[in-house]
Amino acid sequence: MKTILRSQEFSCPSCVAKIEKALHNLNGVEEAKVYFNTGRIVVEHDPALASPEELVKTIKTTGYEAKVSPF
């Protein structure tokens, strides 16, 4: 499953790396890519192991807010 999230909180490339690392460490996440310029976060994951809500919660543990985007 592909879930797209949005966040406008990160302000540097190290923020992007921190979020990507946290998502990659989440069980069920196959790929996570953060697009710094647009605030878009695209995550390929198994929804049985990592729900969209868990993705948002994982990002929150890194100190950033995110929400699921319809597009």
List, in order of start, the domains of the chain with CATH numbers: 2-68 (3.30.70.100)
Does residue 70 surpass a pLDDT of 90? no
- Distance between CA atoms of 4 and 69, rounded to whole angstroms? 6
Arithmetic mean of pLDDT, 10-30: 93
User: 5, 45 in Cβ contact below 8 A?
Assistant: no
**pLDDT value of residue 19:** 96
Q: What is the dihedral of CA 62, 2, 53, 47, to 10 degrees?
A: -120
What pLDDT does residue 57 have? 98
